[in-house]
Amino acid sequence: MDLFDEIFSAMRVESALYARLEATAPWGVDFVGGPGANFGMVVRGSAWLTAQGLEQPLSLAAGDCYIVAPQTPYTLSDNVRSATRSCTDVIHGKEGGIASFGGGGAPTDIVGGWFSFDAQSAEPLMSILPPVLRIGMDSERALALQSTLQLIAMETAVPSLGSKLVVSRLADILFIQALRTYVSSCACAKTGWLAAYADRRLSAVMHVMHADIGRNWTVETLAAAAHMSRSAFALKFKAVLGETPLGYLTNWRMYKAKCLLRQHDVPIAKIALAVGYDSDVAFNKVFKRRVGVTPGEYRRR
C-alpha cells in the first residue's frame, strides 16, 4: 500500500449532504466555512466563485467542478457585484432537494453539497489542498467527476434502500478523484511531502519509508536509499519537507498510530510494534510528547 492509499483508507468520509441550486440573475449565495469540504458542478449557465484565500474570483462555466477546503468561507454568484443571501436562507426553503431563487434573469444550475470526514485522518491531505480546487470541463478527469456528481444527484433525487450509504461512498470517490486531479497538475507546492514524491531522489526515500514505517530507520539508511551522502540528504530533505528525516518519520508514525487507535480491537502494544517501538512504554512517551495525551486517553476520546 502506498502513502496515498494509506491516507485514503484512513479518512473515510463520514457524511455527505446534497442540494441543487436553480438560480436566475441576479443572484448570490454566501457559504460559511465549516468543518466539511464543499463540492459542486455547474450544470447550466455560469458563476463566479470568490473565497477566503483566493487572490481573485474564479470564473465557472457549465461542466466545471470545484471543491472548497474546510473552514473556507466562499460565495457563488452570477456577478461579483450582485447582492448575496446566506446559504441557510436559500436552502431552508428548498423542496425535493432543489432550491430555486434569484431575480428572474439568465438561469444557472449548480449541483453540489458538502461532506465531512474525521479531521485527524484527513490532516495530511488537508495540508496540501488549496482554498479552492477547480477542475475545468476541459480537464481529462472532469468527466469522471461529473459522472460521480450525477450519480449523487440520482441517489438524492429519488432516495431508495441504502441511498445514504451509497452517497457517502460516492463522496469518498469524488474527493479522491478531485485530489488525483490536483496531484497530477502542475499547481502543487514546491515544498511538503507531495513535493518530496515529485523529487527524483527523495521519492525513493518516501516510498521505502512509508512501505515499512516500523523499521529502525536511520539517516544513513535513508540517505543510502536516495543514493546521496548523509549530509547532502539531510539538507535536501529539510529544505523540501521543512523538518529532519527522523522528525518526519516520527510524525508519520504518530499519524498511523492515531488511525490504528481508532480501531478499538487492536491492542496498544501491537500498535507500538507496528509503528517502530519495541515497548509500549517508549511509544507512550513519544505519543504523549507529540499528541499531548497518552495513547489510552486518545482512544477513549
Lowest mean pLDDT: which of 76-90, 195-209, 210-224?
Answer: 195-209
Cα 51 to Cα 29, 109, 165, distances in angstroms: 12, 20, 30
Contact 3, 84 (CB under 8 A): no
What's the rounded Cα separation, in Å, for the pair 102 and 81?
A: 14
Distance CA 72, CA 53 (A): 8
Strand partners, 283: none
Q: pTM of the predicted model, to two decimals?
A: 0.71
Domains of the chain: 3-183 (2.60.120.280), 193-300 (1.10.10.60)
**Residue 277 scores a pLDDT above 80:** yes
Using DSSP's 3-state secondary structure scheme, residue 56 falls into: coil
Residue 274 CA to residue 279 CA, distance in Å, equals 11
What is the Cα–Cα distance from 289 to 280, expressed in whole angstroms? 14
Q: What does the pLDDT read at residue 1?
A: 47
Contact criterion met (CB below 8 Å) for 52 and 131: yes
Determine what percent of the chain is predicted with pLDDT higher than 70: 84
CA 150 – CA 46 distance, rounded (Å): 18
Give tens-digit pLDDT for 34-53.
Answer: 877 888 889 899 999 999 98
> Given the C-alpha cell 497538475, which residue does it identify?
185
Cell of 18: 446534497
Mean pLDDT, residues 121-127: 71
Q: How sure is the predictor about 134, in pLDDT bands with cuts at 50, 70 and 90?
A: confident
Using DSSP's 3-state secondary structure scheme, residue 211 falls into helix
Q: How confident is the model at residue 197 (pLDDT cuts 50, 70, 90)?
A: confident
